[in-house]
Amino acid sequence: MISNIRFNCTFILLLVFSAGLATASGQDPGEGEQPNFIIIFNDDLGYGDVGLEGSPLIETPNIDQMEAEGVKLTNHYSSANVCTPARAGLLTGRYPIRTGLAHSVLFPEDEHGLPEEEVTIAEALKDEGYRTGMVGKWHLGTPEVSWPTGNGFDSFYGLPYSNDMRPLALYRNEEPVEEPVNQTTLTRRYTEQAVDFIEEQPQEPFFLYLAHSMPHVPLHASDSFQGRSKAGLYGDVIEEIDWSVGQILAALKRAGIDENTLVIVTSDNGPWFEGSSGELRERKGAASWEGGQGVPFIARWPGHIPPGVTSDAITMNFDLFPTLLTLAGSQLPENRPIDGKNIWSVLQGGETSPHEYLYFFNNEQITAVRSQRWKFVVRSYYRGGLSRFEGSIQGRPHYYDPGLLFDLERNPAEQFSYTRERPEVVEQMVRWLEKGRRELEPLGKEEERNAQ
C-alpha cells in the first residue's frame, strides 16, 4: 500500500509514555519511569474512512490532528480478515493459527476461546506492575479462562462478542449489567469508561485497551450524532468514534500526561458492506487482498514521534505486542514463538521493516505472502468458494499457476500480475510460502482434529 491509499480502519492504540523515556532518534527508550499504553481498536473501520485522506463525506478532525502530529503507517495489516483471529493476533503477538483461533469467528454457543496458556499484552504488562483495563468488544471467548479478567485485565466493561450476535448483554467484569443493550449510547458509554480509567490514577503506569463495537453492524449513534454527517448513519458512527478519540486525548491533557502518550489508530480488518477501502482491492473477509487486512494506523507521541511523517514499511498488528513490551522494559516470553517484531523505529517514520515477509491467511490456509514490494497470491474467494491459482485442478493445469504476483509499488490496487516477468521473485515467494506451510498450517490441522 501507499500513503495515499491506506488510512482507514479503526484502531487507536494510545501508548502513554512518561517524560524523558524516549527520543526521536529511532532508538528504544532508555531507563526511566514506565510508559502508559492505550489501544483503541475499532471494528470494521475502512482504510478510506478516516484521516486527512479519508472520505470527503466524513469529518474526523481529531484523528486528522493525530495524523498531522504523528506518523501514519501506509502498509499496516491486521493479522486476519475477520474479528476473532485479528484480536487474538493483536493481543498475543502471534499468527492467530498458533492460538487455535484462526478459523472464522466465535459465536455465543462456542465453548472454547483464547487458550489459558496464551500470554496477552495485558498479562505481560501486569507482571511489570501495570494497571490494566479493557473497554468494548472482546470476542475471544466466554469461558472463564478466555474472559478479559482471565487474561490480564483488572477490569472489563463491554460486550463479549459482536453487536449483531444474540443473546447480547453488556458486562462489567464478569457480571451482566444490561440486556438488551442500548447500542445507541454504546460508543459514548465506552468513552466515558475509558476516560474514567485514565483519570483514576494517571501517576501510575497503565494499559487501556478500548475496542469499539462499531462500525460493525448494526450501526448506532447517539442523539447528538444522528444525521450529523454527509455519509448517512455510517458516517454518523465514524464521527462519533472520532469524537471519542478527542475525549481521550483531552483526558490525557487534563491528567498532564499528553506528552507522555503515544496514540495509534487502526482497525481489526477492512470495511464490510459500507465504508471505504480507499484504492485497496476488496473488503472485510477477503482472503489475500489488501482491502481485507490492510487497515489504517496512526501513531502520535509528542516529542518522540516527528509530526506529519509517513512510513511505507510493512507491519502487522501483532507487532504491538513486542513493541509495547520493549518500551515498557519487559522481556518477551521465551517459551513460545512470537511472530511480531519491535516496530518502534517504524513508528518514528523509519522506512525499513523488521519483517522480510508476512503471511495472509484464510482460516488455517496461507493465501498470500507479502514482502516490502511484492504480494504473491495463491488463494482467493470466488462465488463463495476458495479458488486457488497453483497446480492442477481435476487434472487440468490452472491458468494462473503457480500464482499471482503483484508489484505493490507499481500497482498497489493489485490489478496486474507479474508472474511471467519476474520468475526470480516468484521463486523466492514460493520458498517463503512452503516454509510457512511446513511451520504453521499443521497447527490448523491439529486444531481441527481436536475439535472433532
Catalytic positions are 83, 139
Per-residue CA distances from 338 to 15, 164, 167 (Å): 20, 32, 35
Per-residue CA distances from 262 to 4, 98, 280, 327, 344 (Å): 23, 29, 27, 11, 11
**Closest to 72 in 3D by CA, of 253, 358, 278:** 278
Per-residue CA distances from 279 to 7, 31, 47, 371, 419 (Å): 10, 42, 9, 19, 22
Pairing, β 155-159 against β 131-137: parallel
CB neighbour class for 256 (10 Å; exposed up to 12, middle 13-18, buried from 19)? exposed
d(CA 350, CA 163): 37
Q: Which three cell numbers stand for residue 51?
A: 484521516
d(CA 353, CA 355): 5
Amino acid at 100: G
- CB count, 10 Å around CB of 395? 5
User: Residue 372, Cα to own-chain centre: how many angstroms?
Assistant: 19
**What is the sign, positive or negative, of the torsion defined by CA atoms of 209, 214, 220, 223?**
positive
CB neighbour class for 386 (10 Å; exposed up to 12, middle 13-18, buried from 19)? middle
Region of residue 267 (left: phi > 0; alpha: psi -120 to 50; beta: else) = beta
